[in-house]
Amino acid sequence: MNTKSERTLVSFDWAAKKILRDKANFDILEGFLTTLLKQEIKILSILESEGTPEHATDKFNRVDLLVQNQRGELIIIEIQNNREVHYLERLLYGSSKLIVDHLKLGESYEQVKKVISISILYFLLGEGETDYVYHGSTAFYGLHDGSKLVLRRHKPEALLDGHIDIAKEIFPEYYLIEVERFQNIIHSDLDEWIYFFKNSEIKENFKSKNIQRAKEKLDLPKMPENERKAYERFLMNKASERGMLESSKIEGKIERTIEMAKAMLAKGIQVALIAEITGLSDEEIVKLK
């Protein structure tokens, strides 16, 4: 393989924020979504989402893309750079809000939109996992025999498709991609996209749908100078935000250590032992009295 032809591309969160919203670049998202969902995806439009508006205090922690496909389904792609304590709760809220927002008052429940939520995570959501891509959906199982309840509708399309699992057609689905857990070993077409998400690089031998188009369209040297400078500012802001988060963590640890030292002082524990446990100096502990 000729490594000289490999180029560093703009990061996927920047692409989602600035480039992928252009209809001319829908093919990049269509390639990724087709590969992930294992069905041909055609994007009709990019809709507004909570992460879309830009303003002076816009945070770089999260980028959202809300897509409507040819079946009328709503697909939200969320790129999350930093850990969020109640992340799963927010995912549930976000998908529920989409459903409510896209059902007009007085409309039949038949008009409820199917929501697919895709999270590209640059932090480890859980512990002890062995995979890096997870899928969750709603299914119903018998309490006595564990059999799956397959709900059916008496509709013409059901006759064409055999029987339709209505639960799958209605309830939201969730995909969690833990980029940091990916070990850069390619086993599938989807791995090629995750490699790109992690390394901002697409190799010449990658063959996943439309991934080579992404390589051409997201090539930083080919972009206008103003876009390159904007990308540089974006990276600097991300680095600054990471620094502020790390500082906050350190400050929080120091505050907890001081509170623990004060509690031990109140219980009459000797200064030397407190210093040994907390790592604070004798002078620092004495000042807390």
Domain boundaries, the chain: 3-137+172-223, 231-286
Residue predicted with more confidence, 173 or 56: 173
pLDDT at 155: 55
Lowest mean pLDDT among 126-135, 157-166, 191-200: 157-166
* Closest C-alpha among 16, 3, 4 to residue 193: 16
Assign 271 a pLDDT band (cuts: 50, 70, 90).
confident
Residue 111 pLDDT exceeds 50 = yes
pLDDT at 169: 87
Residue 60 pLDDT exceeds 50 = no
Residue 162 pLDDT exceeds 70 = no
Q: Are 30 and 43 in contact (CB under 8 A)?
A: yes
Assign 129 a pLDDT band (cuts: 50, 70, 90).
confident
Q: Give the whole-angstrom CA distance, residue 149 versus residue 78.
A: 31
Q: Give the whole-angstrom CA distance, residue 122 versus residue 60.
A: 13
Q: Which segments within the chain are labelled E, that is strand?
A: 43-47, 62-69, 74-80, 115-121, 133-136, 173-178
SS3 content of the chain, % helix, strand, coil (to 5): 45, 15, 40
pLDDT at 85: 81
**103 DSSP 8-state letter:** S
Residue predicted with more confidence, 288 or 238: 288
What is the three-class DSSP state of 87? helix
pLDDT over 90 percentage in the chain: 53
Residue predicted with more confidence, 2 or 272: 272
Mean pLDDT within 219-227: 90
Residue 247 pLDDT exceeds 80 = no
Cα three-residue angle 145-151-157, rounded to 5 degrees: 150
Lowest mean pLDDT among 46-60, 173-187, 189-203, 229-243: 46-60
Q: Give the whole-angstrom CA distance, residue 199 versus residue 114.
A: 32
The reported pTM is: 0.77
- First-to-final CA distance of the chain: 67
Residue 128 region, left (φ>0) first, then alpha (ψ -120 to 50), else beta? left
pLDDT digits (tens, 9 = 90+) for 61-70: 577 899 999 9
pLDDT over 70 percentage in the chain: 86
Q: Are 76 and 68 in contact (CB under 8 A)?
A: no
pLDDT at 3: 44
Residue 5 pLDDT exceeds 60 = no
Cα three-residue angle 29-43-198, rounded to 5 degrees: 10
Mean pLDDT within 14-25: 92
Q: Give the whole-angstrom CA distance, residue 73 versus residue 76.
A: 10
Centre a 10 Å sphere on the Cβ of residue 114 and count the other Cβ atoms it contains. 17
Cα three-residue angle 164-170-173, rounded to 5 degrees: 105
* Closest C-alpha among 100, 129, 140, 135 to residue 116: 135
Mean pLDDT of the chain: 85
